[in-house]
Amino acid sequence: MSAGLVPFLQIALDAASAAGEIIRAKWQQPLVIDYKGAIDLVTSVDRESQRKIVEVIRRDCADHSILAEEEIDFKGRESEYRWIIDPLDGTTNFAHGYPQVSVSVALEHKGQVCLGLVYDPLRRECFSALKGGGAMLNGAPIRTSIVNELDKALLATGFPYDRREHADFYLSFFKAFLTRCQGVRRAGSAALDLCYLACGRIDGFWELKLKPWDIAAAALIVAEAGGKLSDFAGGEFSMWGNETLASNGSIHHEMVAVTNPLRAAPNSR
């Protein structure tokens, strides 16, 4: 199947590269910022980046459906294919000039993600994967790490936008991992966190309440790099679910042993 997806991968690369040019041009420039919630913001660059990505996709795939973070859920005539887009993952980072942002583009066929591309426009790193074709970083194959003990692992995480209401619950996971692993990073772009897992820079990741556009592309990249994804109980992973647990595979059972007892806390969902 992967060979037939190569033209779509080029479209994804063209779209992400065009969005990346916008992001680089507006980096550390004055922004128009709106708030979707108390701490959930969107910038003019999110919207401009999304417009460019949609424009590139529709140029070659006008009949495909599109699901995007900034209020686009377009159903095309060729509904077997759907693009899932995050035009700027790490918006808060971008607004503060913190250099950890990415563009995420995935393609779904009959409900299964078959292509994923995550582009870091500031470092010019492009992570990609085709279903059954392995994972790449700037065209070179990547694999997850060989760390096989949690206490030697470097992990990453993030916190949902309702963290003020459920801080104790979210911090219970952070504390449990912090006391069992080598270190925890919280960088602010779930897509990049997962790509760093895919190429061996970190060994595991957990987060609650991510959206499909946050993880659709990166989850495929992790899987194709040899990693493992599940919910917090070790069950089947779904990008539509509330729980994302990812690892290099070797430490997954140890991570599940941490998350599973904590996941059922009251008033946490």
Residue positions counted in the chain: 269
Model pLDDT, residue 70: 73
Whether the CB-CB separation of 192 and 102 falls below 8 Å is answered with yes
For residues 222 and 186, state if they share a domain. Answer: yes
Of 115, 141, 167, the last residue of a domain is: 141
Q: What is the mean pLDDT of the chain?
A: 92
The tokens describing 150, both together, are 């949690």
pLDDT, tens digit (0-9, with 9 covering 90-100), for 203-229:
999 999 999 999 999 999 999 999 999
Is the pLDDT reported for residue 174 higher than 50? yes
In a domain, 269, yes or no: no
- CATH number for the domain including 204? 3.40.190.80
Is the pLDDT reported for residue 133 higher than 50? yes
Is the pLDDT reported for residue 161 higher than 70? yes
- CATH number for the domain including 82? 3.30.540.10
In a domain, 49, yes or no: yes
Of 87, 112, 141, the last residue of a domain is: 141
Of 98, 117, 141, the last residue of a domain is: 141
In a domain, 22, yes or no: yes
3-state secondary structure of 124: coil
pLDDT, tens digit (0-9, with 9 covering 90-100), for 249-269:
999 999 999 999 999 765 444
Which of 3-7, 122-126, 181-185 comes out lowest in average pLDDT? Answer: 3-7
pLDDT, tens digit (0-9, with 9 covering 90-100), for 11-66:
999 999 999 999 999 998 877 777 765 655 678 899 999 999 999 999 999 999 99
Q: How many domains does the chain have?
A: 2
Give, in degrees to the nearest 5, the angle at Cα 133 between 130 and 134: 95
Note down the domain range covering 203: 150-262
Question: Rounded to a whole number, what is the distance in angstroms from the first to the last CA of the chain?
Answer: 38
How many CA atoms within 13 Å lie on the side-chain side of 37?
Answer: 9
